[in-house]
Structure 1
Amino acid sequence: MGHALCICSRGTVIIDNKRYLFIQKLGEGGFSYVDLVEGLHDGHFYALKRILCHEQQDREEAQREADMHRLFHHPNILRLVAYCMRERGSKHEAWLLLPFFKRGTLWNEIERLKDKGNFLTEDQILLLLLGICRGLEAIHAKGYAHRDLKPTNILLGDEGQPVLMDLGSMNQARIHVEGSRQALALQDWAAQRCTISYRAPELFSVQSHCVIDEQTDVWSLGCVLYAMMFGEGPYDMVFQKGDSVALAVQNQLSIPQSSRHSSALRQLLASMMTVDPQQRPHVPVLLSQVEALQPIPPGQDTTQI
């Protein structure tokens, strides 16, 4: 989302009685597109996410994503500006109007630094981790889990503050699995909705009788922390080589030695990347640990990256 702005208008759209000028495409996924638009009423830029809905279930899922955004008014969770459903012949499009972040995502920042042979400093990592934990704490406190936390789903504000986005995979935090059919259904859902190299071990082979809870987010957060420390996720190369991520995540992660990182940060990472979800720290515990490691008082969120 950090593209240069160019006026190449293909017209305007109206959302909630306000007119928005199309500027350019920002990206597209399997069934969604993101455009950069400018509000003609305020001159501000926005990201317009358009989700193609082929059937009723798609419309319900898009509505649910909008509802998830509306649940939160938190500086570390992306807010929803407006939402509507548009008919396109026999199909529908869900439109989510969201704030535009010109700095792009955390992954954009990691890649930018990597291209220069650099990495985030430990102080920068801790400030980012603090904001991400605060966003997750708010999500978990309402009884939900993000389920697809990764560097490309974390935007950076003007001051470098992290903002969690893409709430389309969010669901209830605690899922009670009772029987093999429900286990397989959840496993299939995770395969479709939870990015493989950031997916928790318990989602690869769901047990017939178990509870899947918000600790899946803690594993994903560990993968995000690893990416901030080393410039790539711990299982990115496993996936790119075509090896089994499902097998790799069953073994305790080996953390590379690096003089850039304190033993306390490495221990924090190791605690998140525990295969047994019950042994991972809960987000409020992580939050207090990260606050204790802060180089400046935690109230001063002035991440500069």
Structure 2
Amino acid sequence: MEAGKSKQRSTFVRWFEAFRRRVSSGSAPDSENRQNPAPDLTRVEITEEAKQRFAQVQDVFHQVLQVEPERRESALARLAPDPGVRDEVRELLGAHLEVGVLDELKHAFDRQGAFPEASYAPGARFAQYTLLERLGSGGMGVVYRAQDTRLGRTVALKFLSPALGSDPTAKQRFLAEARAAATLEHSNICTILEIGEFEGRLFIAMPYYKGQTLKELLRGGALGAAQAVPIAIGIGKGLAAAHASGVIHRDIKPANVIIRGDGVPIIVDFGVAKVAQQSLTRTGVALGTISYMSPEQTRGEAVDHRSDIWALGVLLYEMITGSHPFRGHTDQAVQLSILTADPESISPHLDGATGLEQVVQQALEKEADQRWQSVQEMVKALEQIRVGSVPAEGPSGPRGGLMRKGERRQVGVLTLLLGEYDDLVDQLTPEATEALLRQVRGAVSDTVTSAGGLVHAMTGDRIECVFGIPTAREDDALRAVRAALEAQRRCAGIQVDPSLGEDRSVTLRAAIDVGVVAVHLDPGEGGPYRIGRSLIERSARLASEAELGAVLVSAECHRVVRPFVEATEGPSVS
């Protein structure tokens, strides 16, 4: 067996050296005709013992790598009693310090500038667009929020890597397939407004969606089955429409799904990943995110719509559990997991969603023939699933993140009190009082909603707001602080009735507390949620002690936001 491994390794090295020489010389590796395919290393049978050994070696290697070089031997002896494991880790450490063929390839691409990034200052003009702010960047290019001066609308403008336009054939292929993607019309697919070229730069103009990517949403942890299933259904319906038109996404991942403010998922970057693979494969660049690749995709084989089904299964697993189904410290370890490992069961996270585990398992079958054969089939199965007593195909808006039976959530509660309310009621007519309250409540509601919060109740001089429902985020407390400050700023511009003969603006008292509360969907008409009152009342007591124009935060809230805001010690409130 050892001789077989050695022979296989030398075969791969010879193939890879030939590949590297062709790339370094500027020649294109013959990948499309596959006359010289890579040796098939993934078909070797791997025992369970070998998998465990591989995982142990990887784990020890990454731990030792964090230790200072002079202390690595002692750390290795402590972490790996098995001499064989120690020897393998030493080999990895030695290889890590050497410059290998992959490093040489990277340096070659760096020297050639394979991926220069478009860079424009906000305010710059590009065709009929004025760039407003940079939204983000990735391997494919950079995205800006921009103003279409011709039509007076806000758009997302994506500049693609110059490498895509350097080859006339690749450029024509990209434009042809991008135009095909532009013909897709579906409520869950990002509309392509324009595809073109300006000053030698290829670009795509798309609507600017207010919301956040699924990647950002997942930073707060698992969404749970009740919220994950409706999102997966929306993504699946978008993919079904694309597949019906012969378009395969090939790069479904959280960063390529935007969740709008109303909870509707929008798939972005349609067609780009497919074109990018075709035009860049000849330079030896492997595109895509390994964690969401199907087994056939990681092997470099031809892929079809069933790779999108696999990726949707990975997304659904991650939304339900908060973790990837296939994990590893390196891309090679992740690929091995994709090819050989079975993901951990999602049953502890199902919230009573009968049948959901079977849907996910079938989407993640290693062999494409064993998966759902169409995304319509998968969507139909998801629509039959009930989470708690709520049908999965029900509202995917603000109620979609909670079961009717309720759950406990970490939330931030912001309470705002209208300053000198009793005096205003005495001095203003009932109509003027109502008009003033409408202005204040409108300003606060807009501010809180824009910050990702929920206005829970508005009674008299009091406005209760909650951050963490329906979606929990790591920065909910900080969002509440910023919303409080912005609400005070906006309300300071609201003038009390001028007929009183004095220049007087609205002032607010504000307070924030954080903690765990019981949350239920409210079956009545009093509001979307029923929330435990203890934290809300505690926040209200804080607000009553705040000075006009000030924001009081609890000790727990201060601990969370202290690295980001300045604060002074306030009164003790029991």
Please give the range of the TM-score, normalised by the shorter of the 2 chains: 0.7 to 0.9
The answer on whether the counterparts of 1:252 and 1:275 sit within 8 Å (CA) in structure 2 is: no
Identify the residue that residue 288 of structure 1 maps to in structure 2.
Answer: 380
- Aligned counterparts of 1:80 and 1:64: Cα–Cα separation in 2: 13
Deviation digits for residues 178-232 of structure 1 (CA, Å, limit 9, x no counterpart): xxxxxxx99989972332111111123356xxx7431111111111111111223
Secondary structure, in 3 states, of the residue corresponding to 1:250? helix
TM normalised by structure 2 equals 0.43
One of 334, 358, 361 as aligned partner of 1:267: 358
Match of 1:204 among 294, 298, 302: 298
1:181 alignment partner in structure 2: none
Give the whole-Å Cα distance in 2 for the aligned partners of 1:169 and 1:100.
Answer: 20
Query: Closer, same or farther in 2 for the Cα pair 1:297/1:190, shift >3 Å?
Result: farther
Asked if 1 retains the 8 angstrom alpha-carbon contact of 2:263 and 2:396, the reply is: no
- Report how far residue 258 of structure 1 moved: 5.0
Relative to its length, the structure with more strand (as a share) is 1
Q: In the alignment, is the contact (CA less than 8 A) between 2:131 and 2:145 conserved in 1?
A: yes
Q: Name the structure 2 match of 1:10.
A: 123
> Alpha carbons of 1:95 and 1:133: their partners in 2 closer, same or farther (altered >3 Å)?
same
Of 187, 195, 213 in structure 1, the residue corresponding to residue 289 of structure 2 is 195
Distance 1:272 1:133 in 2: 12
Q: Equivalent residues in 2 for 1:225-304 (5 A)?
A: 225-235=316-326, 237-238=327-328, 240-241=329-330, 243-257=332-346, 259-261=348-350, 262-281=353-372, 282-294=374-386, 295-296=390-391, 298=393, 300-302=395-397, 304=400
1:36 alignment partner, SS class? strand
Conserved? CA contact 2:122–2:134, under 8 Å: no
Secondary structure, aligned partner of 1:131:
helix
- What is the CA–CA distance in structure 1 between the aligned matches of 2:305 and 2:378, rounded to whole Å? 13
User: What is the Cα deviation at residue 127 of structure 1?
Assistant: 0.7
Matched residues in 1 for 2:250 and 2:392: separation? 30
**C-alpha contact 1:255 1:266 (8 A) present in aligned 2:** no
Letter in 2 for 1:77: I
Secondary structure of the residue aligned to 1:27 is strand
1:29 Cα deviation after fit: 2.5
Q: Is the 8 A contact 2:321 2:346 kept in 1?
A: no
CA distance in 2, matches of 1:187, 1:41: 37
- Please identify which structure carries the higher helix content: 2
**Percent of aligned positions with the same letter in both sequences?**
25
Cα distance, 1:213–1:60 mapped onto 2, change above 3 Å = same
Which SS does the other structure have where 2:146 is aligned?
strand
**TM-score, structure 1 normalization:** 0.77
Matching residue of 2:311: 220
The answer as to 2:148 corresponding to 1:39 is yes
2:158 aligned to which of 34, 49, 55:
49
Do residues 106 (structure 1) and 197 (structure 2) align? no
Gapped runs of 5+ residues in structure 2?
A: 1-120, 401-470, 472-574
Residue 342 of structure 2 aligns with an amino acid whose one-letter code is L
Moved more, 288-297 or 121-130: 288-297
Rounded to whole Å, the distance in 2 between the matches of 1:31 and 1:257 is: 33
Aligned residues: 267
- Structure with higher Rg: it is 2
- Counterpart of 1:29? 138
Aligned-residue offset at 1:242: 5.0
CA 1:257–1:292 in 2, change beyond 3 Å: closer, same or farther?
Answer: closer
CA distance in 1, matches of 2:216, 2:223: 12
CA separation of 1:198/1:139 partners in 2, compared to 1, >3 Å: closer, same or farther?
same
- Structure 1 runs not aligned, ≥5 long: 1-7, 172-184
SS at match of 2:339: coil
Q: Quote the Cα distance in structure 1 between the aligned partners of 2:308 and 2:269.
A: 14
Q: SS at 1:246's partner residue?
A: helix
Q: Check conservation: 2:383, 2:393, Cα contact below 8 A.
A: yes
Deviations 1:16-42 (A, max 9, x none): xxxx32111112223522111123456
The answer for the alignment partner of 1:177 in structure 2 is none
- The residue number in structure 2 matching 1:122 is 225
- Of the three residues 173, 181, 188, the one matched with 1:69 is 181
Distance across 2 between alignment mates of 1:200 and 1:151: 15
- Between 1 and 2, higher relative CO (CA 8 Å, sep ≥ 6) is seen in 1
Contact 1:253 1:270 (8 Å CA) reproduced = no
Deviation at 1:85, TM superposition (A): 0.8
Following TM superposition, by how much is the alpha carbon of 1:164 offset from its aligned partner in structure 2, in angstroms?
1.0
How many angstroms does 1:75 deviate by? 0.6
Aligned-partner residue type, residue 33 of structure 1: V
Alignment map for 1:119-198 (pairs within 5 Å)? 119-167=222-270, 168-170=272-274, 192-198=286-292
Larger mean Cα displacement after TM superposition, 56-65 or 271-280: 56-65
- The one-letter code sitting in structure 2 at the alignment partner of 1:47 is A
